[in-house]
Amino acid sequence: MDILQLAKQNLLVPSGLTENDLTRVMGQLLGGRIDSGDLYFQSVQSEAYVLEDGIIKEGSHSLDQGVGVRAISGEKVGFAYSDDIILPALEQATQAARCIAQAQQSGSIKAWTKSQAVRPLYVASNPLDSLSALDKVQLLREVDAYARRCDARVSQVVVSLSGSFENILIVNTHGHLAADIRPLVRLSVNVVVEEQGRRESGSAGGGGRVNYDYFTTQQRAVGYAQEAVRQALVNLQAVSAPAGLMPVVLGPGWPGVLLHEAVGHGLEGDFNRKKSSVFADRMGEQVASSLCTVVDDGTLVDRRGSLTIDDEGVPTQRTVLIENGILKNYLQDTHNAKLMKMAATGNGRRQSYAHLPFPRMTNTFMLPGKSEPQDIIASVKKGLYAVNFGGGSVDITSGKFVFSASEAYLIENGKVTVPVKGATLIGNGPAVMEQITQVGNDLQLDSGIGSCGKEGQTVPVGVGQPTLLVKELTVGGTQQ
Amino acid sequence: MDLANHALPTHLSALVDVAHYQKMVQQVLAMAKQQGAEQAEVTVQASQGLQVAVRLQEVDKIEFNRNKAISLTVWVAQRKGTATTTELSEASLKRTVQSALDLARFTEADPCSGLADPASLAQEIPDLALYHPWELSVNEAIAQAKACERFALDYDKKIVNSDGAELYSEQDYFLYANSHGFIGGYPSSQHALNCVVIAQDEAGMERAYQYTQNRQPQQLWSAEQVGTEAASRALSRLAAQKIATQHTPIIFNAETARSLIGHLVQAISGGRLYRQLSFLLDSLGQAVLPAQFDLIERPHLLAGLGSAPFDDDGVATQARTLVEQGILTSYVLSAYSARKLGLANTGNAGGVHNLMLQSQTSMTFAQLLQSMGEGLLVTELMGQGVNLLTGDYSRGASGYWICDGKIQFPVHEITVAGNLKQMLLNLQNMSDDIDTRGNIQTGALLVEGMMVAGS
């Protein structure tokens, strides 16, 4: 069976809904001043196991399913949803959604066209079934034991394993039918180390749109444990971070959260249609140093931020946002693309059937440059080398953004010296992008643990970058 | 059906069939017991809401929300399993019970695990007047949101754009039952109006928001207040400057000061204490704030935003003091974390309920600014640079530079840094302009000895 058949089987068949019912509901949704609309059927099965204090402490399972109904009239959007996938609830939600246009008469749609088959970027099998419960808890125990063996100073280990299996079916008033089946797994390790009364923490993890055996191959799971312990031990030696403007070298991979905050959000179509973004009306202009080419790519196989199709049924793509410093494209969903007379880029995403879709990132990263990473560090007389980060956030209107380092070192006379405590870095998106004066040849993507929040909705994303130098950035330490 | 004139139903029966839900949770508990659970608890949550957004005086979005979910936790020989579903059919409930029991076969025995002690469970459930549904039609909601944004747009010609105004009205029902025979439920409501506008000058754009939030619709601030304050805040942000890196006293306004007290609460919460993830381990009986401060909890305030008759374990909530004259007198504990720490349960499963910081010396906000003389007033914090294990604190900030107790100019693109343990002990004074819009309530706070990083 293809994905569409599978999704229909999982979402429509249990409640006896047929294509005829969907045609009728689409007819009810259309008409009057309603331009378009869609139904988003979704079921998500998820589970989580947590090991703490050396025992498997928590096991949980959840099932969430429903259908969201959206009606669009010009710039107006009406939305309602039901967590019962049954015809009466669906029709009621449809009536509510179309109140946006106060329309009385109904319309009709032409025959259904199935979206062109897109090659799936991940397996359609349920990751929850990919490992027995016994093997899942065994995996957690191994990670715990490994972390404790790494160093005698390890005093706490928390390991969590989670997985979800999502079926979605999208039907819209243009008569398109599309479906996706999405696995997602994640393993994370948090450790505390203690020495002479001082305690510090470290964390690491990874995952993607794969099955659980991802963690047992290439020793990934124990690799996370080792990495978490290494970070915590580094932090045991950390001294106070410096405060003020200085050159900052950002390591490869996860520090790409810089791009997510400094440019990614500001290039989302909704903010640019509303002209509330610092990047509004700057298409074709220089918004970063000419060393910078930034892309958003939802088509990377198996990655956490990837999607075969977005939540409006549009296939994802590789979108060049900034090319050699020039602003080239925004990230678009169908609604904002239409209003801006641009093409959708497959970035219409939503947290669930109970949320409206809008433009979101997938995997956002900077392409590699020519510099050797060690040369970049060697070029700095006095500055900061930051290699791991917690989260970040941005004010897309003023362009100000922050991101917080969780592992960083001083650079003194071109050499990485002592580790410093975590500090928040703050800057203005376009201004900081102009300050990128060296880009390394060592592009890395993150390990698959990122989530992005926007207007109360959380979706999985990826980031990445090569080593790069920001000539001047404000570092929020405590030492003058 | 003309939904535009349609209002959210305001009778409880339209939100939830209470008798049916009560019967359902009893059945689920019985099923769990029958299949081998020694203890079990069930939580049901249901909600419905209406959210209307307007932007530049046009309707942007109308959303109808309606959710329900049931969650079951079982214990077999002190091994725990949890399962949740949004489908409440009998077949689905059966699967959910089975799923929770299956999981309890793979988790391991935890001697501290299990329901709260029967004696601690709420014996009676006081009516805290938390349910005030708003008979609000879609058209009325649109009109209110438009009026709010209108006040903001008309405030000044430098208000050039808007992210819109939003009105939200929600009704919730919470039901908790466990195998000790406890069953308790109550409805509640929440309403909010917010507005975000953008001011612009030659230097660029600045956004600002204002919001009002209350359980009672008639207690919301007026559309005029929310709109004009959003606009005046945005205007006052224009032409912000970066300041030099320096040590300086800082006043956190009431809105941002809430987060400092929030960090204190997290650091004295059982989950962090037993995991040793707090900078306030073993701090009972020690000074965590200067002697002029008390921190009290009042769970039974009528119509309070954080009020609750019982906590998420079914344990009775009660008025109490957490910090008395600066000394920490009690942690924030659930049944589980209390057992882990060998302490008495404080009725805080799920968090605190109406926490208020009080100061023996009272002054107005203007007096607080005067008492600082020169320094930084922080009105916005950005990012997550708070390490609750070490207390290390470094966050993005914006606000105003204060000289002679008066606002001089807006400040942006800086960080404020220190260590929370010291910052809390270095609180100098609090103003009396308490921000009552949240579960944690405080006035503005003056903190000495922090580092500002700028240019």
B427 and B385 in a single domain? The answer is yes
Choose among A158, A64, A144: nearest CA to A354: A64
At residue B5 the predicted structure's pLDDT band, cuts being 50, 70 and 90, is low
Q: Which of A9-18, A28-37, A192-201 has the lowest mean pLDDT?
A: A28-37
Report the residue from A62, A392, A476 with minimal CB separation from B85.
Answer: A62
The pLDDT value given to residue A26: 87
- Asked if B276 reaches chain A (Cβ–Cβ under 8 Å), the answer is yes
- Residues of chain B numbered 321-360 and touching chain A (CB < 8 Å): none
B197 and B267 in a single domain? The answer is no
B205 and B308 in a single domain? The answer is no
At residue A90 the predicted structure's pLDDT band, cuts being 50, 70 and 90, is confident
- Asked if B161 reaches chain A (Cβ–Cβ under 8 Å), the answer is yes
Q: Which residues contact A16 (CB under 8 A, 6 or more apart)?
A: A87
* Minimal C-alpha gap between B167 and chain A (Å): 15
Query: Any bridge partners for residue A410, and if so which?
Result: A384
- Residues of chain A numbered 432-461 and touching chain B (CB < 8 Å): none
- Residues of chain A numbered 313-342 and touching chain B (CB < 8 Å): none
At residue B6, does pLDDT exceed 70? no
Sign of the dihedral through C-alpha A382, A387, A389, A395: positive
* Structural contact between residues B272 and B281, judged by C-beta atoms closer than 8 angstroms: no
- The pLDDT mean for chain A works out to 94
At residue A7, does pLDDT exceed 60? yes
B390-421 burial code (b ≥16 CB/10 A, e <16): bbbbbbbbbbbbbeeeeeeebbbbbbbbbbbb
B70 and B207 in a single domain? The answer is yes
B70 and B187 in a single domain? The answer is yes
B252 and B229 in a single domain? The answer is no
Which amino acid is residue A248, in one-letter code? V
At residue B129, does pLDDT exceed 60? yes
Q: Which of A79-93, B82-96, B101-115 has the lowest mean pLDDT?
A: A79-93
Q: Can you spell out the DSSP letters for A242-311?
A: BEEEEEEEEPSSGGGHHHIIIIIGGGBHHHHHTT-STTTT-TTSB-S-TT--EEEETT-TT-TT--SB-T
Three-point CA angle A431, A432, A434, nearest 5°: 70
At residue A111 the predicted structure's pLDDT band, cuts being 50, 70 and 90, is low
Q: Model ipTM? A: 0.93
Look at residue A167 and give its three-state secondary structure. Answer: strand
Contact A402 B382 (CB under 8 A): yes
* Structural contact between residues B357 and B295, judged by C-beta atoms closer than 8 angstroms: yes
B31 and B177 in a single domain? The answer is yes
| B449 → chain A, closest CA residue | A478
Residue B105: give the domain boundaries.
3-237
Contact B87 A83 (CB under 8 A): yes
Look at residue B116 and give its three-state secondary structure. Answer: coil
Look at residue A419 and give its three-state secondary structure. Answer: strand
B298 and B403 in a single domain? The answer is yes
pTM of this prediction? 0.95
Contact B207 A136 (CB under 8 A): no
B218 and B291 in a single domain? The answer is no
3.40.50.620, 3.40.30.10, 3.30.2290.10, 3.40.50.20: CATH of A3-236: 3.30.2290.10
Rounded mean pLDDT, A217-231: 97
- HSE-up of B10 (CA within 13 Å, CB side)? 12
- Structure token digits, residue B320: 């109490």
B391 and B415 in a single domain? The answer is yes
B387 and B437 in a single domain? The answer is yes
At residue B1, does pLDDT exceed 60? no
Contact A480 B92 (CB under 8 A): no
pLDDT digits (tens, 9 = 90+) for A389-425: 988 999 999 999 999 999 999 999 999 999 999 899 9
Query: Any bridge partners for residue B395, and if so which?
Result: B416
pLDDT digits (tens, 9 = 90+) for B246-302: 999 999 999 999 999 999 999 999 999 999 999 999 999 999 999 999 999 999 999
Boundary-marking domain end, from B237, B261, B283: B237
Q: Which residues contact A2 (CB under 8 A, 6 or more apart)?
A: A117
Domains identified in chain B, total number: 2
Boundary-marking domain end, from B188, B213, B237: B237
At residue B304, does pLDDT exceed 80? yes
Boundary-marking domain end, from B187, B218, B237: B237
Rg (CA), chain A: 24
The pLDDT value given to residue B320: 96
The pLDDT value given to residue A341: 96
- Structure token digits, residue B90: 């009998």
Phi/psi of residue A127, nearest 5 degrees: -65, -25
Q: Residue ranges of the domains in chain A? A: 3-236, 243-476
B269 and B135 in a single domain? The answer is no
- Asked if A157 reaches chain B (Cβ–Cβ under 8 Å), the answer is no
pLDDT digits (tens, 9 = 90+) for B322-348: 999 999 999 999 999 999 999 999 999
The pLDDT value given to residue B12: 80
The pLDDT value given to residue A163: 98
